[in-house]
Structure 1
Amino acid sequence: MAKTNPITFIQQVRAEVSKVVWPTRREVLLTTVMVFIMAALTAAFFSLVDILIRSGLQGVLALFG
């Protein structure tokens, strides 16, 4: 593995960092809102599935229990 001069390394790091495209405030806000919406929808879906499975099991246990 070749060793690099520290000055060259810092120059390379600065060149790579300058290529980074940072998101705008609006993009960050929209992405955050979408994450919260998807989390709420997922929670509602799994709550509904849980209620359906629970009531189904209670019905089966009431018949055979």
Structure 2
Amino acid sequence: MMARTNPVQFAQQTRAEIAKVVWPTRREVILTTVMIFILAAVAALFFSLVDLGIRSGLQAVLEGLAG
């Protein structure tokens, strides 16, 4: 069975754990946000080009079969 703690102990333990958290600086948050947007744009461009290639290839095959 799990040990039970009273609400006061729980609150104290929670505050102690939150105090251990290392929060990112404003600069780190901005840099990671910018990096995410850049990587999302690169991924969107990549998948758009792949989609265009597949669509063109499939269209060429279907036109070749239609004669």
Same fold (TM over 0.5): yes
Q: CA deviation at 1:24?
A: 0.3
Q: Secondary structure of the residue that 1:22 maps to in structure 2?
A: coil
For the aligned residue pairs, the C-alpha RMSD in angstroms reads: 0.9
Q: 1:39 aligns to what? A: 40
- Ranges in structure 2 where 5+ consecutive residues have no aligned partner: none
Structure 1 unmatched ranges of 5 or more: none
- The answer on 1:10 being equivalent to 2:42 is no
Q: Give runs of aligned pairs for residues 24-63 of structure 1, distance below 5 A.
A: 24-63=25-64
TM-score (norm. length: structure 1)? 0.92
Partner AA of 1:2 in structure 2: A
